[in-house]
Amino acid sequence: MKIFLIFLTFLALSIEAKLKIEISQGSKDSPKIAIVPFKSNMKIGESISSLIQDNLTLFGEFRALPKNEMLSFPSKEENFFYRDWNILNVDYVVIGNFQEENSQFINIEYFVFNISLNKLILRGDVSGKYSEKEKISKVISNRVYKSITGLNGVFDTKIAYILSPSREEYKICISDIDGTDEEVLFESSAPLMSPSWSSDLKKLAYVSFEKGYPEIYMQDLFSGERESIKTLGLSNSAPVWSPDNKKLAFVMSSSGNPDIYIYNLRNKKISRHTTHYGIDTEPAWSPNSKKLLFTSNRSGSPQIYELTVSSNRIKRVTLDGDYNARASYFPDGKDIVLVHGNNGVFHIGTKKLRSRFINTISKTTLDESPTISPNGNIVIYATKNNSQGYLAGLTLDGKSKFTLPVKFGSVREPAWSPYMN
Amino acid sequence: MKTFNKIIILSIFPLVIGCATQVSDLVTSTNYSSAESDKYESVDKIDTNLDDLIYFEFDKASLSSDSKDLISEYVEFAKNAKAIRLEGHCDERGTREYNLALGEKRAIEVKNYLIIKGVSSSKIKVISYGEEKPIDINSNENAWKKNRRVEISLF
Amino acid sequence: MTNSFIGLLNSIFVHMLLFAILTVDFSIFVPQQDRIKTIPVEFVTFPMDVENIPKKTKNIKNESLKNNFKKKESIEGLKAIDKKQLDFDSKKNLKDQIAETKLLKQKREVQIRIALIQERINSIWKKPSLINKNIQAEFVINLAPSGEILSFDLISSSGEKVFDDSALAALSNISFITEVIGLERKYFERNFRSFNLVFKSKNQ
């Protein structure tokens, strides 16, 4: 993959034959960004710009220029000079100032410059309560990110995960994507599994063993109210909310035969979608809510299959490797991420639905539960170090790898929330 | 010739599945309460002096001949017991939901063997914890071997 | 009672059978099209003088190997070989060989410069990660023999502003393509005076 391609097209020896050089790899470095402390009469100026810097560098997509290397500290367009940043090899600069600031209310004006192009690429302003500076920083970070990358920022999204401080303690937690503001949604002495967000961000579905067998609960994030799917006491697992928020795919097992079912959230009806006597589990919805990926061992080893919900037509997706499981779609619906095992080693892999090749992207050996950022640019997954579970992530361009803040206890099964609106 | 082969495959394969499904349904259809919460406390547990763990290969739910011998030793106790609880487990490798299903397959495999030996299916409760409750939390072959198991308890 | 039970089982069985026929995935039995792995072939060709290109484009190595083999054959007496023909072949070969070696040397010179240019632009270009979009932007670059970039122009946009901008930014950061310095003038004029640069989001 890494071999850079040399393609020169030879246009049939004609006089116009022109050399064509192709560039496809790009730099191994992430772009360098300078966030100049926002001009303010109060302390908040610096704290907002440093929050923005933390956001933009969170996943390693940007490198920040340290404050002490800056040659000037502009806060307005008229006192900004490109040459000050050109010599520092900076790619982008963010500056800002407070139009209004008091202990109640703040209004910030900010600018983003593309240094290589000598161009102002974004001018914006945002206002809000003084106490909500984190939220305001996230709004600015998202807008800056979009102006540079063309992709929606994910700095205001959340992550759900299972935290197990000890063997008899299980918690479902939700935190901001940077690991701050952790909230415990539910606690139990019996195992908890498989958190899944509703696309309207109002509910979380998960599996709880509190009654002695796996059962699916849908919990309202605001009222805390819990509702379970009534399935005659059969064990059920792996709930996944459809992107259109109308259905919940899950796995129900009667007499040791787990199959994929869909629970219609409107009319509360359950339909069965696989019938094979082998294991069928780990459903994942396509972005258009029409197809499901799932794991089945019907061929003898776990492999990924794609099911068209309306017709129950099943197509095998993975062919290589002795263990392919827990796949999910990228937002484009054309690529998938999965757990790829070979000879007892488990990595996170990506694959085009329509090609055979699986591209492994993680390096540790017990990697599982990949979850994709809503903009499709980052994958977070669970892995282990000395039996301690923690969350790691990477950007799909391969430039950055990171780990999420360590928690007290084993962390697993991350689930990235959809976009906040 | 090729198409003929295909036809044969096409016609035989569903037959095999049909049979398999029919048999497993026959064996276990009498009991749908398998996952019901167990009402038996550990104080009621019958001590059989037998090894209560059946081990499995990675990503497999089939019983070895040693395992079958061990389960056979349980049969007499099981026939007299009020209830039998089979708890399926997996090692940490592979994905969690898949392992939950695999643990259940393992427990069902033991259950079916007991039924073949004449134990009434109605008193057998089956549950899987997947990889959520390991005996040994280490990440090595030795620990994994211990964790791929079905725990048998008689009440 | 038993009969109806068997009847019920039978009907279950028949249904299962029908269902299995309809739903079972036979893809594992049928050879799939995408099992054929396509390996991208990398090749290098570039404009050269027509007269410089030998009419007989043979692989020199293969040819001489073949000759060796022929000789061996005659020594072993397996087959009589027309000696005159052999001499004629090797004379012609020598001529080809000289022409081709010269050409190869020049080819290699240009090739090295191209690789160097690619390497440098790759190292400067901050490629935006536009996931799974297969797009490209094409520029025309005009150079002076000193390597100075006289001008560059976007001749075919990728359709993504962020992507075009990233390529523009990379080009803005270079004022000289020093990699062409020292190249024989003829080859500079033919290859690098004006050339196209294609920025691709994927290397396929």
The most confident of A39-43, A100-104, A170-174, by mean pLDDT: A170-174
User: How many domains is chain C partitioned into structurally?
Assistant: 1
Among A256-260, C63-67, C138-142, the range scoring the smallest mean pLDDT is C63-67
Number of cross-chain residue pairs from A and B with Cβ atoms under 8 Å apart: 130
d(CA A44, CA A48): 6
Query: Would you call B101 and A237 a contact, using CB atoms and an 8 Å cutoff?
Result: yes
Same-domain status, A68 and A40 = yes
Q: How far apart are the CA of A408 and the nearest CA of chain B, in angstroms?
A: 17
In this structure, are A138 and A225 located in the same domain?
no
Task: Determine the pLDDT at residue A158.
Answer: 95
C122-175 pLDDT tens trace: 999 988 876 567 899 999 999 998 889 999 999 999 988 889 999 999 998 888
pLDDT at A137 exceeding the cut of 60: yes
Give me the residues of A, 366-405, that contact C with CB < 8 A. 375-377, 395-397
Cα dihedral A84→A87→A88→A91 (10° resolution): 90
Q: Is A285 strand, coil or helix?
A: strand
> Which of A149, A178, A196 lies at the terminal end of a domain, its last residue?
A149
Say whether both A174 and A311 belong to one domain. yes
> pLDDT digits over A178-187, tens only?
888 999 999 9
pLDDT in tens, A388-402: 899 999 998 888 899
Domain limits at C20? 2-35
Q: How far, in Å, CA of C113 to CA of C177, rounded? A: 10
pLDDT at A260 over 90: yes
* Tens digits of residue pLDDT in C26-57: 434 333 333 333 333 333 344 444 334 444 43
B21 interface with C at CB cutoff 8 Å? yes
Within 8 A of B107 by CB-CB distance, chain A residues are 256
In a domain, A334, yes or no: yes
Q: Report the residue from A13, A315, A377 with minimal CB separation from C50.
A: A13
| Cα–Cα nearest to A188, from A156, A239, A152, A226 | A226
What is the rounded CA–CA span in Å between residue A365 and residue A362? 8
Q: Is C10 helix (H, G, I), strand (E, B) or coil?
A: helix
In a domain, A237, yes or no: yes
What six digits make up the tokens of A8? 């020169």
Give me C15's structure tokens.
């249904």
Q: Model confidence over A310-352: pLDDT tens digits?
A: 999 999 999 988 999 999 999 999 999 999 998 889 999 999 9
Residue C98 placed within a domain: no
Mean pLDDT of all residues belonging to chain C = 69
Q: Would you say residue A140 lies in a domain?
A: yes
CA angle B41, B44, B47 (to 5 degrees): 125
Greater confidence, B43 or B115? B115
Q: Do A316 and A299 touch, CB atoms closer than 8 A?
A: yes
Judging contacts by C-beta atoms under 8 Å, the chain B residues touching residue C26 are 9-10, 13
Interface test with C, best of A23, A24, A85, A115 (most C CBs within 10 A): A23
CA distance A281 to B30: 24
In-domain check, residue C156: no
The answer on pLDDT for A12 being more than 50 is no
For B67, residues 6+ apart whose C-beta sits below 8 A from its C-beta are B54, B55, B56, B110
Q: For chain C, where are the alpha helices, taking DSSP H only?
A: 2-23, 60-76, 83-124, 161-172, 185-187
Convert C128-150 into a string of H (helix), E (strand) and C (coil).
Answer: CCCCCCCCEEEEEEEECCCCEEE
Band of residue C102 on the pLDDT scale cut at 50, 70, 90: confident
Q: Are residues A123 and A186 in the same domain?
A: no
A297: closest CA among A281, A283, A312, A308? Answer: A281
Average pLDDT for residues A144-165, to the nearest whole number?
A: 94
Q: Which domain holds residue A47?
A: 32-149
Please report which helix (H) or strand (E) contains residue B151, including its range: strand B149-154
Angstrom distances, CA of residue A214 to CA of A39, A59, A298: 55, 35, 23
Is a pLDDT exceeding 90 seen at residue A288? yes
Specify whether domain B36-154 bears CATH 3.40.50.360.
no
Statement: residue B152 has pLDDT above 90: yes
pLDDT for C141 equals 93
Mean pLDDT of chain A: 90
Q: Does A234 touch chain B (CB under 8 A)?
A: yes
Which residue, among B59, B60, B98, B114, would best test binding to A if mutated, counting the most A CBs under 10 Å from its CB?
Answer: B98
pLDDT at C2: 53
**What pLDDT does residue C38 have?**
36
The DSSP symbol for B62 reads P
Q: What was the pLDDT predicted at B51?
A: 83
Give the dihedral sign, CA B33/B36/B40/B46. Answer: positive
* Position A25 confidence tier, pLDDT thresholds 50, 70, 90: confident
> Which of B13, B27, B28, B30 to substitute to test the interface with C, most C CBs within 10 Å?
B13
Burial of C108 (0-12, 13-18, 19+ CB in 10 A): exposed
Q: What is the pLDDT of residues B88-137, one digit of tens each?
A: 999 999 999 999 999 999 999 999 999 999 999 999 999 999 999 999 99
Is A87 within 8 Å of chain C by CB?
Answer: no
User: A386-390, B11-15, C89-93: which range is least confident on average?
Assistant: B11-15
* Residue-wise pLDDT tens digits, B46-94: 887 788 899 999 999 999 999 999 999 999 999 999 999 999 999 999 9
| B132 closest CB neighbour out of A191, A258, A301 | A191
Distance of residue A353 Cα from the nearest chain C Cα, in angstroms = 10
**pLDDT over threshold 80, residue B10:** no
Q: Is C14 within a domain?
A: yes
Domain-embedded: residue A123: yes
Q: Answer whether A374's CB lies under 8 Å from A359's CB.
A: no
Predicted confidence band at A108 (pLDDT cuts at 50, 70, 90)? very high
| A72 within some domain | yes
Instruction: Please report the pLDDT score of residue B25 as a whole number.
Output: 31
What is the model's pLDDT at position C10? Answer: 62
Question: How many domains does chain A fold into?
Answer: 2
Question: Is residue A134 domain-shared with residue A176, that is, in the same domain?
Answer: no
The secondary structure element, H or E, covering residue A107 is: strand A105-114
Instruction: Indicate the residue type of A153.
Output: G
How many residues does this entry show for chain C? 204
Question: What is the pLDDT averaged over residues A200-226?
Answer: 94
Beta bridge partners of A328: A337
Q: Is residue A197 part of a domain?
A: yes
Same domain, A318 and A409: yes
H, E, C per residue of A369-420: EEEECCCCCEEEEEEEECCEEEEEEEECCCCCEEECCCCCCEEEEEEECCCC
**What distance in Å separates the CA atoms of residue C72 and residue C52, rounded to the nearest whole number?**
33
Pick from B6, B13, B21: CB nearest C16: B21
Question: Which of the four pLDDT bands, split at 50, 70 and 90, describes residue C109?
Answer: confident
Does C6 map to a domain? yes
Say if residue B19's pLDDT is above 50.
Answer: no
Q: Would C11 be classed as within a structural domain?
A: yes
Q: Does residue A139 have a pLDDT over 80? A: yes
The answer to whether position C51 is within a domain reads no
The Cβ of residue B12 has, within 10 Å, a number of other Cβ atoms equal to 10
CATH (domain of A115): 3.40.50.10070
* Same-domain pairing of A168 and A242: yes
pLDDT of residue A103: 79
Question: Do A78 and A140 lie in a common domain?
Answer: yes
Q: Is C158 in a helix, a strand, or coil?
A: coil
ipTM comes to 0.89
Q: Is the same domain home to A254 and A235?
A: yes
Q: Which of residues 13-52 of A touch B (CB under 8 A)?
A: none
Higher pLDDT, A214 or C7: A214
User: Is residue A11 situated within a structural domain?
Assistant: no
The arithmetic mean of pLDDT across residues A241-263, rounded, is 93
Q: What was the pLDDT predicted at C201?
A: 87
E strand or H helix at B67, and its extent? helix B65-80
Q: Is residue C9 part of a domain?
A: yes
Q: Mean of the pLDDT values across residues A1-6?
A: 38
- Does residue A98 lie in a domain region? yes
Nearest CA to A404 out of A394, A370, A140, A134 is that of A394
Residue-range domain boundaries for chain B: 36-154
- The predicted pLDDT at position C9 comes to 61
Say which residues have a Cβ less than 8 Å from residue A318's Cβ, sequence separation at least 6.
A303, A304, A324, A327, A338, A351, A358
* Nearest alpha-carbon partner for A93 in A30, A144, A35, A31: A35
- In angstroms, what CA-CA distances link C154 with A273, C136, C162? 52, 11, 14
